[in-house]
Structure 1
């Protein structure tokens, strides 16, 4: 039996999974999606999660982000243990401390870009920090498009709105699930650049699931999953190095 690599960092941690497992079904139909995963996501760092199809990368993100339950282990956002929270408390934590960016832009078509950006705070009855909001809007280059509705924006512009929405409430951590999956390469590069700049210039923490080595190269670190377990990590990744690592996964899958 091999030992699951444990990824620990010494800096302040924005989110942490400890011995995290997620099991579906029972008996012969049982599927282990996560197998005792331990990983830290440090504050002020851009982390990409990669792995073959079915490796558990999206399941890991969904469990750490409080979007899905887990079978055993521990998940903390800051000092808050998710397993101790009731549904209402978990909803409040996601609203107040976590930002989300998905492959689908999830914008409301009847609202302007600005109204979509501030919507989570409006629902929570909170006023945005005007200076921070302007900084975010300037960073993603939306100052001239704030009155436009989603149908009047390109796909790249809509995803910029989604990025700004995630950043606007100053969350402790942002999770992105294939955030450039519906974008062309140029728009995708712009969005990834905004995410990287939010870490470097605004001190944000970003965790992104992706299958794209080029997207992963924008991160500070890549965590690799296979068969529900962390098997490797890469610091200061390049697209070529990530691609080589993923090819090794594919080769192993073909020969196993």
Structure 2
């Protein structure tokens, strides 16, 4: 079966859409070294939904997330957070938007080793000069099970506990959307399941919007929706995914890729 591109997402985000791309392309290099990482990708990430982005290695999934999160610039097309068009922002405005409206969770945790768990959690708000909502922060800390680890520094925490701190940090400022790039890639299966459970609970209980890049069908099974990329194009999506269904779809994508991809 040959995968067909999805219909384009509307050019302006509909109500309830936390982020959207329209005809998003990303090209690296030129001439013989030109590589098209994303080819006119249009997609919306709905508020209060957990979306996983999947596809074969090199398909553009991390590039899509980085562009959608304002970490990388698009070669052409549109990227919006809510109704804010990222291409209209200068560097300072873009930095403030990422700080105030976007949460990030990465595979490498990215915690500051000299700060305690609590200080790492509140760091983005401290940098912004904003007073944390203590009731909200305590709710997040309780949800991720860190109440008795707040005074510990990263070196005193397990990998799973460090990633819990990273999850709490991403959620603490009540961002419009949280992006995770292989957030369980450095964790064992048990710790990974805990972190994925926290992300799913943040969507179901707190109304958070989460977008996660992953290569793991089990991780994708925690999401409400999975979107599939192949050779820089959006080719399919699946609602209410299960690991087995995701794995079958990934096998199909692997067998239908072009020989040069």
What is the deviation of 1:29?
A: 1.5
Query: In structure 1, what is the Cα distance between the partners aligned to 2:130 and 2:140?
Result: 17
Matches within 5 A, 1:27-66: 27-66=31-70
Distance 1:254 1:235 in 2: 26
Q: Distance in 2 between matches of 1:6 and 1:231?
A: 9
Quick check: 1:167 aligned with 2:171? yes
1:221 Cα deviation from its structure 2 partner: 0.1
Is 1:78 matched up with 2:79? no
Q: 2: CA distance between counterparts of 1:251 and 1:209?
A: 21
Note closer, same or farther for the CA distance 1:11–1:240 as it changes in structure 2 (3 Å cut): farther
- C-alpha distance in 2 between matches for 1:124 and 1:6: 39
Query: CA offset at residue 27 of structure 1?
Result: 1.6
- Show the counterpart of 1:4: 5
Counterpart of 2:205 in structure 1 is 201
Distance, in Å, in 2 between the alignment partners of 1:40 and 1:235 is: 14
- Matched residues in 2 for 1:49 and 1:3: separation? 17
In 1, Cα distance between equivalents of 2:4 and 2:190: 40
Deviation of 1:68 (Å): 0.2
Counterpart secondary structure, 2:131: coil
Give the alignment's Cα RMSD to 1 decimal. Answer: 1.5
- The reply on whether 1:118 has 2:119 as its aligned counterpart is no
Match for residue 18 of structure 1 among 19, 22, 27 = 22
The answer to which of 220-229 and 4-13 deviates more is 4-13
1:49-107 CA distance string (max 9 Å, x none): 00001100000000000000110000000010000000110000000000000000111
CA contact (8 A) 1:50 1:222 kept: yes
The match for 2:227 among 199, 208, 223 is: 223
Matched position secondary structure for 1:23 = strand
1:150 corresponds, among 151, 154, 162, to 154
Conserved? CA contact 1:99–1:173, under 8 Å: yes
Secondary structure (helix, strand or coil) at the match of 1:144 reads: helix
Cα deviation, residue 6, structure 1: 2.7
Shift in Å at residue 156 of structure 1? 0.2
| Whole-angstrom CA distance in 2 between matches of 1:131 and 1:214 | 33
Number of equivalenced pairs:
255
Instruction: Indicate if the aligned counterparts of 1:6 and 1:39 stay in contact, CA closer than 8 A.
Output: no
Residue 240 of structure 2 is matched in structure 1 by: 236
Deviation sequence 1:232-251 (CA, Å, 0-9, x none): 00000000000000111122
More divergent stretch after superposition (10-19 vs 199-208) = 10-19
TM-score by length of 1: 0.97
CA–CA distance in structure 1, aligned partners of residues 8 and 248 of structure 2? 21
Indicate if the aligned counterparts of 1:6 and 1:230 stay in contact, CA closer than 8 A: no
